[in-house]
């Protein structure tokens, strides 16, 4: 039983149950980031719809009924078109993610200019009733300053109100004008500020949700890795129980004699297995070569010359196949008298691992899917080849 | 071989020189006589003609690889057996391509150096395990196409079996094993840069019946017009 195959460790072996997310969460864009971006974009679109809708329906419904009252309707309509262009430019910039502040300020300045020009074109004394530009210019500010600090929007809305007020004062103020101005200022500015603040809040919420999702995923990946490490330790412990444990017990209770060559050989086999078990959990490139080196270490300590050669681009070999190959290698490495040559050759269809050694005993029979083990002897040399076809 | 083969040794480590001469003097038939020992290639300058029947050359002299000096040594008529601590397949192929008769890694010296020198003196190949490894690991675009039998013989030989055992496993004679391995070597000799030594190897192989003149032409045309 001691020389028999050890049950494969399911955890360190096999395909990862978590798939790519466990192997490299940082190697791709995290889904939560996509979620956050999509959420943010739908809110941007909502803002654009509100602003454009206001300009067409709100400002338009004031402009057209009073067209006869303006000093020049074509001039007012031209100003309306200027705002429409500014909204288009602002919408494109927002959706494309273009955020150079200079352009935001330029568009805001255009909106301010339209506010003043539009107010100046209103019939004297009827500004508050016929002015369409003030409100819609404020919405332009909400749109173009959406990515800027709220303070900038507040400043813009203040200037926008002052511009209108200056024209109002220029025309000659009445008390009712002041009251009407304050009412409109309070209403429009409040709504515009609320929308801008809500936009920021929603963006922050989306980011927070994305971060929470991301840290949850990281925690899950961490748990998974910990679980796999634990299972690998468990498998190593079980393997130890099955073979090394009884041997240690026999040595301890005196039923196995350290002077007995068979007991020594069994000890060497267990030592090699322990080394292999350690090597299995190392994440070394070319795990098979790495594990064979670990097995060869024990032979080296016995004074056996071990030569390991690899040729070609070696394929990655599944853990259960590696177990069978290394078990065979251990059996030969622990019985070789003075020298062992281990070769790994990449084949078009898999790999050939062979050992040539002056070992007196044939290798144990072992099996794994796709593995063919053959051996042959010429005089004192044993040749064993394990060929794995993928 | 009736006549004694003369050998020159170019090697910078005295211990290695002692090792080589001890292997040569351990030959029961005393077929090789060392006529020159040099610590570097300067001793051979100017290279006008062969210094001995066979030149055993350490590829790394005083910490420097001297592989680029090989073509000149070969062109002057030296039969070079490369002897080196390195055994990287790329280096081995490069050295053979430059016209060395054989490549013997230092850990193969005891087993093959004497055999390689004697084979070179007779313009015959000697395929060591490090050469077999270099052929098996060749995935270059201009590599010669080896037959399955040649490949299998090379593989078993590389793995460490004796040629007799290789023959037994492949159900062929030891002689046929030799022929398969030598044929693989000749396919390499027919490729790459031209060299006097390769011509001599190929001519001898044709004489020995390892390959036919037609085959040499096939390999060469494959090399000059890769598919």
Closest to B78 (Cα-Cα) out of B48, B43, B50:
B50
| CA–CA distance, A151 with A141 (Å, rounded to integer) | 12
In the prediction, which pLDDT does A285 show? 60
Q: Which pLDDT value is given to residue A33?
A: 60
- Domain coordinates of chain A in residue numbers? 23-213, 285-389
Instruction: Pick out chain A residues at pLDDT < 50.
Output: 1-28
Residues in B closer than 8 angstroms to A384, CB to CB, are none
CB A343 to CB B160 under 8 A? Answer: yes
pLDDT for residue A30: 54
Closest C-alpha to A348, from A385, A314, A372, A386: A314
- Which residues does chain B have within 8 Å of residue A372's beta carbon, measured at their own beta carbons? none
| Separation between Cα atoms, residue B74 and residue B90, nearest integer Å | 20
- Secondary structure of A214-277 in the HEC alphabet? HHHHHHHHHHHHHHHHHHHHHHHHHHHHHCHHHHHHHHHHCCCCCCCHHHHHHHHHHHHHHHHH
Nearest residue, CB atoms, A383 vs list B89, B107, B159: B159
Say yes or no for a CB contact (<8 Å) between B159 and A356: yes
Q: A52 Cβ partners below 8 Å, 6+ apart?
A: A87, A91
**Predicted complex ipTM:** 0.86
Residues in B touching A381 (Cβ below 8 Å) = 160-162, 165
As a residue count, chain B comes to: 227
3-state helix, strand, coil in chain A (%, to 5): 65, 10, 25
Backbone angles phi, psi at A340, to 5 degrees: -140, 135
Of the CA atoms within 13 Å of residue A359, those in its CB half-sphere come to 28
User: What is the nearest CA distance from A247 to chain B, expressed in angstroms?
Assistant: 34
Instruction: Identify all chain A residues contacting B139, using CB atoms and an 8 Å cutoff.
Output: 312-313
Could you tell me the two tokens for A59? 């400002």
Average pLDDT over residues B64-73: 91
Q: Render pLDDT for B18-48 as a digit per residue (tens, 0 to 9).
A: 999 999 999 999 999 999 999 988 888 777 7
- What per-residue confidence (pLDDT) applies to B169? 92
DSSP B44: G
Torsion of CA B71, B76, B80, B86, to 10 degrees: -30
Report how far residue B208's alpha carbon sits from residue B202's, in angstroms, rounded to the nearest whole number: 10
Per-domain boundaries in chain B: 5-224
CATH number belonging to domain B5-224: 3.40.50.2300
C-beta separation of B152 from B170 below 8 A:
yes
Per-residue pLDDT tens over the stretch B122-170: 999 999 999 999 999 998 888 898 999 999 999 999 999 999 999 999 9
Across the interface, of A311, A356, A385, the residue whose CB is closest to B136 is A311
CB contact under 8 A, A311 and B165: no
Q: Which one, of B188, B190, B159, B162, lies nearest residue B177 by Cα?
A: B162
CATH 3.40.718.10 holds for A285-389 = no
**Is there a contact between B116 and B81 (Cβ–Cβ < 8 Å)?**
yes
Helix (H, G, I), strand (E, B) or coil at A24: coil
B158 touches chain A (CB under 8 A): yes
Cis geometry, peptide bond prior to residue B46 (ω within 30 degrees of 0): yes
Q: Which two tokens stand for residue A216?
A: 């949850």
Task: Decide: helix, strand or coil at residue A352.
Answer: strand
* pLDDT, tens only, A242-278: 778 888 888 888 888 888 888 887 887 787 777 777 6
Residue B56, pLDDT above cutoff 90: yes
d(CA A8, CA A14) in angstroms, rounded, equals 10
Give strand pairing partners of B64. Answer: B61
Q: What is the pLDDT of residues B164-198, one digit of tens each?
A: 999 999 999 999 999 999 999 999 999 888 898 99
Q: Is A384 on the interface with B (CB under 8 A)?
A: no
Joined together, the tokens standing for residue A314 give 């070696």
Which is higher by pLDDT, A11 or B208? Answer: B208
Q: What pLDDT shows up at residue B187? A: 93
The pLDDT of residue B154: 96
pLDDT tens-digit series, residues A326-369:
989 988 988 898 889 999 999 989 999 999 999 888 887 877 88
Burial of A102: CB neighbours in 10 Å, binned 0-12, 13-18, 19+: exposed
Cα gap B207→B204, rounded to integer Å: 5
User: CB-based contact (8 Å) between B66 and chain A?
Assistant: no
Residues of chain A contacting residue B159, judged by C-beta atoms under 8 Å apart: 341, 343, 345, 352, 354, 356, 383, 385
Q: Inform me whether the C-beta atom of residue B139 falls under 8 Å from chain A C-beta atoms.
A: yes
Q: What is the dihedral of CA B193, B198, B200, B206, to 10 degrees?
A: -110
pLDDT of amino acid A26 = 41
CB distance from B169 to chain A under 8 Å? yes
pLDDT value at residue B129: 95
At residue A18, the pLDDT reads 39
């Amino acid at each position: 039983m001691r020389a028999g195959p050890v049950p494969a460790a399911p955890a360190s072996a096999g395909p990862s149950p978590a798939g790519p997310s466990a192997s490299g969460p940082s190697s791709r864009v995290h889904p939560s980031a996509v979620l956050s971006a999509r959420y943010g974009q739908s809110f941007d679109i909502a803002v654009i719809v509100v602003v454009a809708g206001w300009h067409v329906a709100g400002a338009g419904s004031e402009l057209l009924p009073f067209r006869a009252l303006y000093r020049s309707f074509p001039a007012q309509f031209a100003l309306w078109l200027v705002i429409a262009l500014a909204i288009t430019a602002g919408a494109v910039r927002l959706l494309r993610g273009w955020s150079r502040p200079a352009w935001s300020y330029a568009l805001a300045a255009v909106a301010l200019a339209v506010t003043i020009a539009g107010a100046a074109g209103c019939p004297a004394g009827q500004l508050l009733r016929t002015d369409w530009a003030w409100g819609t210019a404020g919405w332009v500010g909400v749109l173009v300053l959406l990515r800027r600090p709220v303070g900038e929007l507040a400043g813009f809305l203040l200037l926008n109100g002052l511009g209108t007020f200056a024209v109002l004062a220029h025309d000659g103020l009445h008390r009712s004008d002041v009251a009407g101005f304050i009412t409109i200022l309070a209403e429009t500015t409040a709504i515009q500020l609320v929308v801008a603040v809500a936009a920021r809040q929603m963006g922050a919420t989306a980011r927070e949700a994305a971060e929470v999702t991301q840290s949850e995923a990281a925690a899950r990946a961490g748990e998974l890795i910990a679980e796999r490490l634990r299972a690998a330790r468990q498998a190593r412990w079980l393997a130890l129980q099955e073979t090394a444990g009884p041997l240690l017990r026999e040595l301890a209770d005196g039923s196995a004699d350290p002077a007995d060559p068979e007991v020594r050989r069994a000890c060497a086999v267990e030592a090699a297995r322990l080394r292999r078990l350690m090597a299995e959990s190392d994440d070394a490139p070319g795990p098979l070569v790495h594990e064979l080196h670990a097995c060869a270490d024990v032979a080296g300590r016995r004074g056996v010359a071990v030569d390991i050669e690899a040729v070609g681009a070696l394929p990655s070999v599944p853990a259960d196949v590696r177990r069978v190959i290394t078990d065979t290698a251990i059996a030969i490495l622990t019985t070789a008298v003075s020298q062992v040559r281990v070769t790994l050759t990449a084949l078009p269809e898999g790999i050939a691992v062979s050992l040539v050694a002056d070992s007196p005993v044939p290798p144990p029979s072992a099996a794994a899917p796709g593995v063919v083990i053959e051996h042959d002897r010429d005089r004192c040399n044993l040749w064993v080849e394990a060929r794995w076809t993928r | 071989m009736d006549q004694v083969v003369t050998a020159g040794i170019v090697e910078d480590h005295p211990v290695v020189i002692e090792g080589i001469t001890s292997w040569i003097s351990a030959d029961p038939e005393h077929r090789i006589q060392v006529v020159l020992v040099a610590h570097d290639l300067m001793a051979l300058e100017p290279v006008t003609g062969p210094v001995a029947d066979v030149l055993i050359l350490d590829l790394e002299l005083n910490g420097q690889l001297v592989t680029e000096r090989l073509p000149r040594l070969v062109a002057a008529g030296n039969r070079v057996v490369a002897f080196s601590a390195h055994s990287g397949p790329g280096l081995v192929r490069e050295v053979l391509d430059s016209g060395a008769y054989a490549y013997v890694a230092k850990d193969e010296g005891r087993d093959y150096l004497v055999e390689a020198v004697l084979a070179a003196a007779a313009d015959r190949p000697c395929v060591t395990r490090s050469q077999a490894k270099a052929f098996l690991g060749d995935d270059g675009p201009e590599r010669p196409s080896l037959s399955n039998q040649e490949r299998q013989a090379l593989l078993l030989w590389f793995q460490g079996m004796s040629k007799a055992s290789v023959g037994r496993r492949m159900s062929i004679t030891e002689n046929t094993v030799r022929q398969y391995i030598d044929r693989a070597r000749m396919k390499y000799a027919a490729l790459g840069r031209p060299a006097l030594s390769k011509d001599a190897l190929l001519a001898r192989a044709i004489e020995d019946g390892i390959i036919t003149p037609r085959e040499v032409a096939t390999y060469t045309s494959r090399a000059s017009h890769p598919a």
